[in-house]
Amino acid sequence: MKELNSMSLQFPSKSANEAFARGAVACFVSQLDMTLTELGDIKTAVSEAVTNCIVHAYPESIGPVFLKAKLFEDGVVEITVRDRGRGIEDVGKAREPLFTTGGEDRSGMGFTIMESFMDTLKVRSRPGAGTSVTMRKRVDRRVGGK
């Protein structure tokens, strides 16, 4: 797959930056001329990944969140959201629907939502060293898309 374009951002794990990250990715990936449904799916997945960093990676502090997005010539979007937070003890357990370490007000559906809106989801984590979530989605390129 040939990479067409890429971008990267770094921002603090503040709640206000979830909307910023979602909007920045939406603007970047829109150059593929995708449908509104596809764009909404990507925005939702990014929101969930960034929210996980804010809530779970840095539960009592502010830390860096790293976001990378890549576009490939065959209509594949790849997004990686990474933190240097506390990490995940058991990734398999964390990916189970309804499992959360965020308290009663959290649904435990973040990874499930990411997985349902994207074609692939890879989660790598080391306790004490952070987590990396990489998501891919192939979008249907419409006539006129560049």
What's the rounded Cα separation, in Å, for the pair 72 and 54? 29
**Which one of the listed residues 17, 18, 38, 52 is annotated catalytic?**
52
Q: Identify which of 58, 115, 119, 46 has the alpha carbon closest to the alpha carbon of residue 83.
A: 58
106 catalytically annotated: yes
Catalytic residue among 48, 82, 86, 115: 48
Pick the catalytic residue from 84, 95, 106, 136.
Answer: 106
User: CB neighbours of 8 closer than 8 A, spacing ≥ 6?
Assistant: 66, 67, 68, 69
What are residue 126's DSSP bridge partners? Answer: 130
Strand 76-83 and strand 120-126: the pairing is unpaired
Residue 48 annotated in active site: yes
Which residues are known catalytic residues? 48, 52, 106
